[in-house]
Structure 1
Amino acid sequence: MTLPIPIQVLYAGLVGVLIALIVATAQQNWKPKVFFLLALRLAIGWQFLFEGLHKIQSHYIGATETNRPFSSEPYFKEAPGPLAPMMRAMNGDASKIIPAKLTPKKEISAADFAKLTTEEQAALCPDDVAKELDGLLGTAEKTIHDNAEKALADLPKLQEAKLKKIAETEKKETEAAKDAAAKENAKKKADGDRKIAENDAAETKAEEEKRLSSGKEIASQSILAAKAAFARWTYGEDRREVKMARISGDPVLMTGPQRLHYLGLLKHEKQEAEARQSEGLGGGYGLDIKKAQTSRADYWNEEAALVKDIDSFVTELKTKINDGKAPEASTEKTPLQRNDWLTRWFLAAVGAFILFGFLTRISCVAAAGFLLLTYLTHPPFPWFTLPPGTEGNPLFINKNAVEFFALLALACMPTGRWLGLDALIGYIFCGKSKAVVVKREVVPVKA
């Protein structure tokens, strides 16, 4: 699904806006300040509206080779402003997730860790991961119980199918036999296969009945083994495959501590590049800007990859605990998804209100508040890095700050009464006496 807006409609809308601007200015005695204030309001409303519609459309189209749905994650990921910690926490701060799930509970070498029992290894599993795995006990017990019941219910049918196949094979071999000895061999072979099938069925029944009665104990042992497996990776005993961005070829095997060490090297490299960029009022010199951008991208990508690999490993362990059934993905929107939904619809709504002059003053203040939050999240201070996609080299004042003050200036003027739905609403409910007209100022001259 898309939001198609024919280009003809856009042109017609733009022409209509220009005509309305001219008519409104004429009604206000051709005052230049009326023209430019209205032009400023219409321009800001138009920009907000179509920025919001573009973000909405990107989500309706979905992820394709030529489209990437809007996400605020890159903007907030390394934001240095005073509101940044709150936004990162809301959107899932990787810098907090990684230490919480991959930091050893105590200093111990991989060799000494390998000597511990499974119970001792499981006890050293990071608390956040252990809590996730422990929370699966009830679900895993039910899954084991349901699977055992299903296996027992299906066992007679499976046994019948096996015996039928054995009988068919026996019949074919008997018909193909050329003498009595061959027929006897076919019968003996079929009888042996039947006995094996009966023994297998009995073993399967006993095993499933045991699983049916001991589901909780089996689930507990699976959780213990899963926590020990994650701990072995955390403490450097086991390795897992990982595809490194800077290493071509096949995936390499790395332990948890090695992944943390590599991430630390990228962070140090990023900090050095940003320190060089901060010289010269944040612009850097020569290739410093490019180097800082590349270093930030490498660090962010590795950080995101590590979080993804941790979650993937935990999901594998949960699947084993849950008797081979993958845990159901949560249908609840994440804080990041809720924030992105609110952002794109807010931009479209407030842009439409400002453009069409509905609740104009309130809409201008709301839009200014949004820009203030954006500014405080990623302020253009010379000692901070520039956000992704920044044009030029803003110093303290960027486009968000300029538009912020412009919106507050518009909120102080009755532009909605000059042109917009506010004028229509005022005329209907207040009459002509409330119409706003900019009067010519007459300055008395003393004799």
Structure 2
Amino acid sequence: MRGLKDEENVTEATADRSPVPPVRPQPVDATADARRIAVIACVLLVTLRLFIGWQLAYEGFWKVSTLDTNRPWTSEGYLKNAQGPFRNAFRNMTGDPDDRTWLDYDSVNAKWNARYVAFDEFYQLSDQQKRQLNVLFEGPPDFRAELDEFPEGAKVPENLANFVEFNPQTQRIIVDGKRHLTQKEKLELLALVDDVLKDEQGALREPPEMNDGENYTNWELARKYSEAIERVFQRATRLSYRERLDVATRIDPEAPRIVFGGFKGTIGDKYTPIDSYYSTLLEEYEEARATAETDYQREHAETLYGEIVELKNALVGPVKALDAQLTEDMYGILTPEQRAKGPLPHPWDTVRIADTLTITGLCTLGTLLLIGFLTRFAAAMAGVMVLGFYLAWPPWPGVIEAPGPDHSLVVNKNLIEVMALFALAALPTGRWFGVDGLLVASWHRMMGRRNRVAAENAVPAAPAKSSAAKPSAAKPVAVKSEPTATKSAKDAPSNTYAVAEK
């Protein structure tokens, strides 16, 4: 009896050791993830996504709205002021990071010539508009003022006769457009009638009576002549844009170019033009920035940078303002139909490519975050884009602090936004609230419907044929009978174990 009980225990232990089928991992369900996170956390994360998407989209579409104006948005200034380890890469994208070409007459003039040709081709200017455009660039061929009759006995001085004349047929006093009357030359022309209009002390005479015959006639002619000289002087003092550019950029290289009193324009003991002083400051700053190791050296580099920015604004600012005014006057000669074509396209250079990519990225990624479509991809790409903004001027030790009221060290608003976007890229917020959730739900419904239809249309498998139906050709095996005709149910497990042992 004891042996039978031992066999039963061994049999039960063996049954417990039977192989267990492996547990298959279940597919991740986004709704299950959402249930594991508090509802308020889901709401706040979705709100964060919507806020960032709104900020990016609004910024992008605002930049798009400026493209139809005479002053479209550009990233050129941001790239030129880049600092940090990627400074040269960002600045070199502009081609002229220090705006030195704006101080060169030939460079600006070549830019204006290209704009003139592109403006004419894009808007298909009429002959009259072309003449108006030429007047803007070159100035009028002459300056005129109405004058019925030249004063009797008066004659233009010989030193002015080569560019000042009176035409009795057109009744105009004419000044050559390539010459501009100076104050001294105006006074010489006015002096021709001083004896009629002024007394011996130089004071203006009282006008004679109208019935005073010849005296009144001479006085009236002298008065009209003086008014005509004043008018033609005012017109002749107006410079064309090329002449104004020449004044702003081409000066006597031996003369100092003093813009304002804050800069003395001196280097050592030698008096130097201020534009050369600007170039020298740039070289000193680049050297100071590259070799700065101590706090004092970094502060010195920041001081140089501030002086450079101020000096550049004083030098380049007037030329850029002149360029902007020329652009505005050029658009002023267009008809409403021509203006409807929009602003003149900017040439495809590195800056325009960067502007286009920035505007497209802001509008597209911001919109995707708002509607919750491709949310993780949009958040990741937006994080990479904002990271580029951060690297353009990072608040790192040793890097000049960006101007503005904010003060940061390593972490600023851009970096915080980058981390928030990367966190959103790791969460299925679009499935919680957005187009992504609608698409996933539609996909599940479609797949469930397809599985049900497939199950309904499935053909049941044919039943397997019994092996007893086929006669076996094998030779029957003799089975040795046991001494007892019947066995108890208690002996069955023991015999099974014995067979297994054999």
TM-score by length of 2: 0.44
Return the structure number with greater relative CO, CA threshold 8 A, min gap 6.
Answer: 1
* Rg (Cα) greater in structure: 2
